[in-house]
Structure 1
Amino acid sequence: MSTIAGFDFGTSNCAFGVITDNQPTLVNLPQHGHYLPSTLYAPQPEVISGWLYQQLKSQGLEQPYQQARPNLGASLNALREAKLDGYDDQLAFGVDALDKYLVDPADCYYVRSPKSFLGSSGITPRQQQMFEDICASTMWHLRHQAEQTGLAPIKKVVIGRPVNFQGLDSHRSNTQATEVLTRAAKFAGFDQVEFLYEPIAAGLSYQQQLQQQQNVLVVDIGGGTSDISMLQMAAGSDLSERHDEWVLGYSGERIGGNDFDIALNFNCLMPTLGSRLKDGKGRPIPNKPFIDAASVNNISDQTRFYRNDTRAMLSELQRQPELTTLMRILTLQQQHMTFQLSACAERAKIALSELEQAKVALDFLEPELATVVDRANFTEAAQQLLKRMSVLIDDVIAQSSCKPDVLFLTGGSANAPFIKDYLWQRYQIPMVSADNFGSVTSGLTLWADKIFNKSGC
């Protein structure tokens, strides 16, 4: 006996859903609740593979992973050496991962939103293996947590995926990302893995509350992507395995909650670190280090920010009397605190959903340092992202050759007032919402039940 599940391996949060009493329900994970924040902590990157191998071996699942990692011995040695050197030899996930990272950001390995990196261009085979290990470790932890609730082993899953993982070379990016996720899921013990577009999954969830046939424009603003679809749905209609029977159009791009965090970070927080300063001759200092520091979802940008030549440039500038404030961004770099600053931006973004202003403590960079961000400035900073989102929506409406009856807004950023206001002013379509965080998981669960259980697979 095994369990069938919907699996939202999200940019911001992860969740499992199962069918209970003919309805999709989210699994309440013992250590995390319904949602596991998508973060991982390791004392050193080299120990991840060894830790994963040990967990898989404890359940007799290690052989496929062992065959795929011929140099596994080095990681196991690193794991043993870390323990001998007094380091923790365990990985941590979710809030626990963030807590451990904050103890000493410069002396650990911390990943936030690994899904954001899966479609990146130019990654090496070693980096791709690292992404597989990070995803597989997170998936194994989630699966272990879910099964601690009394579920039979989870063997068949439908995993949500964005329409496009990246904006550039989307076909290559999508292939790469889904292959990484598939291999990671198989390593973690899932026997059958299928994928479903996240906006379609959200639409399936919305169908549960439909009273009549409607053209539903689904706008799913997740942590990493915005995914749009137009679905023709009716109350109680059977789910067809042929998407083209009810999907009229779809599109997506890498514009998500993380990008709004970055916009707030760069435009509202980085000035406190010196981004708008001018040198003694009245020349603006380079913006690139501040953009790179804020872009925590971009491997190339983060690598460039932490390079020695970036440090040398900032140190040279900081010697000028007009530019002493740059010591703050130097501290950010030297202490590897870009994720900590990004977390501040995210908290401020959430606070601005209800408040006109939010105070942001930055005392980890300098004693008593703080700044205030306001909703108007953040909304202005987000305009380019909103315009890109509207291009996606316009494209889907054009594909569908019909007007939507309703706009179903979902995803982690769906509560933001400036997003709702922008969509209403531009489209004037009746807007509805449901569980912003759980709608995709519920739809994935319905689809998993359809293709694995009712279809007899």
Structure 2
Amino acid sequence: MAIGFDYGTANCSVAHIDNNQMREIALYGTDQTVPSTISAPNAETISEYLYRHYQITPCTEIGENLLRLAIRNNEEEGWDVLPEDVCFGKEALAQYLADPKEVYYVKSPKSFLGAMGLSPMQLAFFEDLVCAMMANIKHRTELALGRDVSQTVIGRPVNFQGRGGDKSNEQAEGILRRAANRAGFRDVEFQFEPVAAGLEYEASLTQEQKVLVVDIGGGTTDCSMIAMGPQWVGRMDRQQTLLSHTGQLVGGNDLDIYIAFRQMMHPFGMGSTSITGKMHPTTQFWNAIAINDVQAQRQFYGRDNLPTLQMLLRDAAEPEKMARLLKVHQDSLGYAIIKEAENCKIALASAPSYGANLKVGDELLQLEIDTEQLAYAITNPMQKITALVEEAVAQAGCQPDAIFMTGGSARSPILQQAVRQVLPHVPMTHGNYFGSVTAGLARWANILFR
């Protein structure tokens, strides 16, 4: 049986075609989406968890070395790896928020898959992370459907996050393919996420249109100009219909980071100075919350940064603020700050203001943020998104008949208005912001594997 699998930066979801009807699959109770998060007592737990409880073995010598190292380290620590030690989605976030310092937590592993300069052992570990998440989704899908699932079409962005261009894309897709195969998917194919979203929109058309699909995902934004209509539905060869593609490493996570950076980091010392009047380096505040940048996170949370933070605290004109930043380092609070920034983004899609709450040790910081402040905060990523829209239209050499918005962050009225300003006379529509890509992937899986 075949499914469409949206292994997203923000959320994961799956769907299949049943009696010519697209059906999303409930994975946790009635929830059809699972946040792309994973937690464990330590990093080593994940590799051993796959081996102990899923009988999933490495497919490379480096992976085998990683597993042996994980087992040895866990034995030395006296840690028996149990099935419940590894959590996913909302359970993973709850475990992390309950004790950030003692929990290994990763949000959006997909963000790191295209990163250049990673060691072979690091790449093998990311493969294990993805494999654990995919194995969990596959298991829950099979429980929901009551049958084995061995074929899948996985969505991918036009360009993964990473500075290596085609090399980043090849690395990331390779990790996803190997992880899916190890998780038990025999046949694995890929489809661009904006194209998949377009396939779902196309199913509703009664006439031919040129449609600009704007997919603002968790890690990337992709724009595709696609010729759509009844004559193309169900056809495998769609090369003629793909008029242009643009994509960049800017998405919902970037919006969250910019909201946190520009509206939430001042109580932690950003913008303040030392007693001699020297401004504190902004990189410390950025790196603390740049959850999609491996190097930035290493630089802030590494042991080598602790003396620097202690020096900044000692010399600070407002030491209470820098003490909070030191607490962020000590308790690994970056993800908690970003989660509150995400809550702010979601709330301001339908409300004029939001009261943010940031817990730092025993202290509760309360900040009021309105839509005007939000618009200022996300100016940089918003400009990148509108540039992608302009580039997609220029590449296609024609104006679209419609704009189809999809992806969780596409719900933002601010981003919608920004896209409208680029194409003011083109009607804008949307489907299921979270489900259009998944539905399109299911339709493509049904075509490929029927």
TM (norm. structure 2) is: 0.95
Structure 2 partner of 1:18: 16
Q: Structure 1 residues 215, 71: CA separation in 2 closer, same or farther (over 3 Å shift)?
A: closer
Contact 1:51 1:79 in 2 (8 A): no
* SS of structure 2 residue aligned to 1:449: helix
Contact 1:53 1:66 in 2 (8 A): no
Q: Structure 1 residues 244, 369: CA separation in 2 closer, same or farther (over 3 Å shift)?
A: same
Q: Does 1:246 align with 2:244?
A: no
TM (norm. structure 1) is: 0.93
Unaligned runs of 5+ in 1: none
* Counterpart pick for 2:122 among 111, 118, 127: 127
Could you give the per-residue CA deviations for residues 408-438 of structure 1, whole angstroms, max 9, x where no partner exists? 0000101111001111122112100010000
Q: Does 1:331 align with 2:331?
A: no
Q: Does 1:440 align with 2:433?
A: no
Instruction: Write the mapping of 1:10-409 to structure 2, written as runs, cut at 5 A.
Output: 10-31=8-29, 33-57=31-55, 62=57, 64=59, 68-70=63-65, 72-79=67-74, 84=79, 90-166=85-161, 168-235=163-230, 237-320=232-315, 322-324=317-319, 325-409=321-405
In structure 1, C-alpha distance between the alignment counterparts of 2:352 and 2:7, rounded to whole Å? 32
In structure 2, C-alpha distance between the alignment counterparts of 1:195 and 1:71, rounded to whole Å? 28
Identity of aligned residues (%): 36
Contact 1:43 1:87 in 2 (8 A): no
Structure 1 residue 67 displacement after superposition: 9.5
In structure 2, C-alpha distance between the alignment counterparts of 1:109 and 1:304, rounded to whole Å? 17
Contact 1:53 1:65 in 2 (8 A): no
Contact 2:38 2:107 in 1 (8 A): yes
In structure 2, C-alpha distance between the alignment counterparts of 1:229 and 1:434, rounded to whole Å? 16
Q: Which amino acid aligns with 1:413?
A: S
More displaced, 206-215 or 311-320? 311-320
Structure 1 residue 31 displacement after superposition: 4.7
Could you give the per-residue CA deviations for residues 199-230 of structure 1, whole angstroms, max 9, x where no partner exists? 00000010111121110000000000001000
Could you give the per-residue CA deviations for residues 331-355 of structure 1, whole angstroms, max 9, x where no partner exists? 0100111111111111111111112
Q: Structure 1 residues 210, 199: CA separation in 2 closer, same or farther (over 3 Å shift)?
A: same
Q: Which amino acid aligns with 1:371?
A: L
Structure 1 residue 401 displacement after superposition: 1.2
More displaced, 305-314 or 354-363? 305-314
Q: Which amino acid aligns with 1:116?
A: S
Q: Which amino acid aligns with 2:389?
A: I
Q: Structure 1 residues 157, 88: CA separation in 2 closer, same or farther (over 3 Å shift)?
A: closer
More displaced, 419-428 or 233-242? 233-242
* SS of structure 1 residue aligned to 2:246: strand
Contact 1:274 1:323 in 2 (8 A): yes
In structure 2, C-alpha distance between the alignment counterparts of 1:118 and 1:401, rounded to whole Å? 33
* SS of structure 1 residue aligned to 2:354: strand
Structure 1 residue 54 displacement after superposition: 2.0
Structure 2 partner of 1:410: 406
Contact 2:13 2:34 in 1 (8 A): yes
State the aligned residue count.
448
In structure 2, C-alpha distance between the alignment counterparts of 1:355 and 1:156, rounded to whole Å? 42
In structure 2, C-alpha distance between the alignment counterparts of 1:83 and 1:416, rounded to whole Å? 48
* SS of structure 2 residue aligned to 1:362: strand
In structure 2, C-alpha distance between the alignment counterparts of 1:19 and 1:102, rounded to whole Å? 37
Contact 1:272 1:371 in 2 (8 A): no
More displaced, 207-216 or 26-35? 26-35
Q: Which amino acid aligns with 1:358?
A: Y
Contact 2:344 2:356 in 1 (8 A): yes
Q: Structure 1 residues 167, 77: CA separation in 2 closer, same or farther (over 3 Å shift)?
A: closer
Q: Which amino acid aligns with 2:275?
A: G
Structure 1 residue 20 displacement after superposition: 1.6
Structure 1 partner of 2:446: 449
In structure 2, C-alpha distance between the alignment counterparts of 1:333 and 1:352, rounded to whole Å? 29
Structure 1 residue 375 displacement after superposition: 1.3
Could you give the per-residue CA deviations for residues 298-325 of structure 1, whole angstroms, max 9, x where no partner exists? 0000000012343222222222462211
Q: Structure 1 residues 126, 62: CA separation in 2 closer, same or farther (over 3 Å shift)?
A: closer
In structure 1, C-alpha distance between the alignment counterparts of 2:222 and 2:258, rounded to whole Å? 19
Contact 2:273 2:316 in 1 (8 A): no
* Counterpart pick for 1:430 among 427, 432, 436: 427
Structure 1 residue 70 displacement after superposition: 4.5
Contact 2:271 2:279 in 1 (8 A): yes
In structure 2, C-alpha distance between the alignment counterparts of 1:123 and 1:321, rounded to whole Å? 35
Unaligned runs of 5+ in 2: none
Q: Structure 1 residues 63, 321: CA separation in 2 closer, same or farther (over 3 Å shift)?
A: closer
